[in-house]
Amino acid sequence: MSEAELSSKVRRAAQMLLYQRHRVPGVKGYELRRSLGRGYMRVVKIVRTELENIGLTVKIMSEDGSEVDEGDEERLSTSRFFVVLKDSLSLYDASTAGWSIDDLAGMAVTLATIVSRRGKAPRREVERILREKFPNWKAELFVERCVRRGYVAVDEDNNLVLDWRSRGELDLQKFLQYVLGAGGPEASTQP
């Protein structure tokens, strides 16, 4: 492959990885292979290296929410490739990226409820908790938005579970530390 051809493929791959379709980021592996050819993983590795210079990285997540090894050819074609931040996002930066404080709070409550219930929470229970702080229509909207954007999935029993995007974009350990630390000793005024 010539230098010009490789450069063109790297540019095309970067554009594809930064696409958003219906508020869902990235592209499936088979789409990359169709556009870039059989050696698409080599191109993805070059894009990843370039993006890491500016604080971004490429994640590869399967439909079940687990990270996929680059050598697993079978799973790569159905996996989603997308770009995430390497570092944490400040609250100001999140608001400039289109997330309102209410959206962030609704998603945090939704995810925290699911995680606190060992990864599965009844949808009605999550919506009830959200209704304690938000209007009914907004509570339902938060849950629907989390589902549409791939942060949460609904199983056959109408339970909410973490989906591929929350596993790929969020550091769940750090998230739990923030949630559990919110009512910790620093917040308390009693001796």
Range with lowest mean pLDDT among 9-13, 20-24, 76-80, 148-152: 20-24
Per-residue confidence band for 86, with pLDDT thresholds at 50, 70 and 90: confident
> Which two three-digit tokens encode residue 23?
């508020």
Residue-averaged pLDDT of the chain: 84
Is the pLDDT at 12 greater than 80, yes or no?
Answer: yes
Helix ranges, the chain (H): 3-17, 29-36, 40-52, 73-76, 91-96, 101-116, 123-131, 136-148, 164-169, 172-181
**Single pTM value for the model:** 0.69
Q: Who wins on pLDDT, 152 or 99?
A: 152
| Measured distance between the N- and C-terminal CA atoms of the chain, rounded to whole angstroms | 69
Q: How many CB atoms lie within 10 A of CB 27?
A: 20
Per-residue confidence band for 189, with pLDDT thresholds at 50, 70 and 90: very low
pLDDT at 170: 82
Q: Tens digit of pLDDT for each residue in 89-136?
A: 666 666 666 677 888 889 889 999 998 888 899 999 999 999 999 998
